[in-house]
Chains A and B, each alone.
Chain A
Amino acid sequence: MLLPSSCSTFRWSIAENLVETCIKASHRPLFGDWIGSLHSYAAVEHEPPKLRLTIDIRPLPDDLITHARCDFGYDAAGEITSAKLIGQSFVGRLVREQGRWLGQFTIGGEISGSMENVLRIGLSLLCEARGDLLLHASAVEREGAVYVFSGPSGAGKTTIATELTAGATPVALERVVLRIRDRDHIEVHSTPFSDPTRVLLGPRVGRMARLCFIEQADRHACDPLAPFAAVQRLFAQTLVCSRRQGQLTRTLDAVSRVAETGRCMRLLFCRDPGFWNMIV
């Protein structure tokens, strides 16, 4: 996918959040395949976007801080008003203005990973405002139901969603948005993150059947998680930026409602698809 040398604007949606991304490039960068993924999420919408990001692609100074950091600014009530993001290959700022997030970023180095970071943090802020959860998880769709696999990096999320699907369709590889409709209805929304080989088929929404917290082992085993254990794991894998009690309570409420569904499991698995019999 080649981009014009001046500017390219994408409007895309994740979990009903319209995002507009304007990419400016003074030279033709190596975008990788991620922009192609973003295109697959492109949406034609008439409402104003909730998140508008301008990404300026140019070489960064040599002395850029090497440790990724995210500093939030708060108003007197604890509401986030700005987010300053510094990474190995990007630096920028998100500012909230009239209910929308606007950002400007300078990016260099590895482009696709940098843009993912910028967009992921922006999306997490939107999710907190709505009471949704942006969960570190992959997901696959099987016979009309969505199975979510959560865990830290290296736990095997992508492996399950790409190599051990047993015929199921990958929905997300790295992050999913969970929206709680009611006790028995939790929607799983796909995101395009971490899909360099374009496994994903674009935006998908489905009803959550199981949420498995995965651990690699030499055998398969699956046990239901008690609500508090599920809350602990959910919080550990959800990005929470806010310090405001109201927003925190909303996030905790969402986490608790997911935990109380009885659909959260601890899944030990080895590298074969035999675990499916235990969770379907």
Chain B
Amino acid sequence: MVETDGVYRINSHVAFRTFGKELVVVDTLGQRLLRLNATGALVFRLLDAGQGLPEVAAAVARAFDTSVEQARIDALSFIEELEKRGLVERRVTT
């Protein structure tokens, strides 16, 4: 289970590039190529910038005109999926 206030980082075997409003993500370990829509792209870029879940949820709520709580639920679900696929990992902070 992902910690709700966790901070994540993109794994080093993953590269990504903006493609219009979307994001192309390459995972060389899993030899996969993914396309993220505008919402997924925003979350991914914020994680890459070192933002935690609260900041991500706030940004998604602002960008897509939804409540912070709903954005938090959606973002967490998406991050869990990214973690399952080995694209991000929770950063250990001391």
Contact = CB atoms under 8 A, between A and B. Distances in A.
Interface stretch (B27-35, B58-66, B69-77): B27-35
Interface string A77-99: 01000000000000000000000
A256 B35 CA distance: 13
Contacts of B85: none
B16 interface: yes
Interface residues of B, number: 16
Band of interface residues on A? 10 to 19
A78 B35 contact: no
B58 to A, nearest CB: 27
Interface string A253-275: 10010000000000000000000
B33 A243 contact: no
Q: Is the interface of A mostly helix, strand, loop or mixed?
A: helix
Nearest to A231: B24
A249 B27 CA distance: 11
Nearest to A232: B33
B15 A248 contact: yes
- Top 7 nearest A-B pairs (CB, nearest first) are A248-B15, A249-B15, A243-B13, A252-B15, A245-B12, A252-B17, A256-B17
Interface of B: 10, 12-17, 19-20, 22, 24, 26, 28-29, 33, 35
